[in-house]
Amino acid sequence: MKIKTVILEDEASAKDHLIKLIKQITPDISVISSLSTVTEALHWFHTQKHPDLIFMDIHLSDGVSFDILEEVEIDVPIIFITAYDEYAIKAFKTTGIDYLLKPITREDLENAIEKFLKNKNKINEEWIIQNLDLAQLIKKPENVQYKKRFLLRSGNSMIPVVIDDIAYFYRDELVFAKLKDKRSIPIDHALNQLQTMVNPEQFIRLNRQLLVNISAIKKLVPSKPGQLSITLSPEYHTEIQLSSERSRWLKLVLS
């Protein structure tokens, strides 16, 4: 069965080179679309069925490709493409995300495709979370100002809440802020957007539903081999069980 892929690349010569290499390496990958801007990509991913694999250049003509990940939940593997940047390369290695360094060589592309084929049955949720972890590391400017408070709407009232009073944000159809006093109040932001607004040293993404204040994590209990069950305070309404990979990551973060 053909593996469908989409390429995000704003340099025509680089796009043509990548397509040529893909065709040389394997007939099993079909390029179904090539996109060159964030705006074009947002429209495409909102309206089309997502492919099996994405090649995504970080820097596009109208922004960075991570802007797309904040607006669209992409639950398929992404192989990022970048020009040399020491900070970016460190971020890739930290998150375990695969990348291709320009100019792309056939050997590097073959290795990336082989890695994709070995891991394509990986839990989709892991792809999403790792991509967002990477976006935070690479997009973070030196003088970033994270949110210190939110103005939340409760009925006809608006409640100012400082960030330290929020235990976690969670998605249950709508997105809510769970306060440390146990109140749940709707918030007008997607979790992906919130993740870029709060300090990653204070709030971490456990899964697609939860962005958690580290101080709200009260207990980690081994469950299945290599996996952890997480207890929060205030208590979350369903069981939180992390995959083996996310469990290893969390233990490193909390050490």
Do 125 and 158 fall within a single domain? no
In a domain, 144, yes or no: no
CATH code: domain of residue 153: 2.40.50.1020
For residue 245, give its domain range. 149-254
Say if pTM beats, i.e. exceeds, 0.75. no
Do 91 and 180 fall within a single domain? no
Do 44 and 100 fall within a single domain? yes
Do 193 and 242 fall within a single domain? yes
- pLDDT by residue, tens only, the chain of 255 residues: 789 999 999 999 999 999 999 999 999 999 999 999 999 999 999 999 999 999 999 889 998 888 888 788 787 888 889 886 765 676 666 555 678 889 999 999 999 998 888 877 665 667 677 777 777 767 665 667 889 999 998 888 899 999 999 999 999 989 999 999 999 999 988 888 898 889 888 999 998 899 999 999 999 999 888 899 999 999 999 999 988 878 888 888 888
Residue ending a domain, among 139, 167, 187, is 139
DSSP lists the bridge partners of residue 166 as 179
Q: Helix 86-95 and helix 124-139: axis angle, to 10°?
A: 150
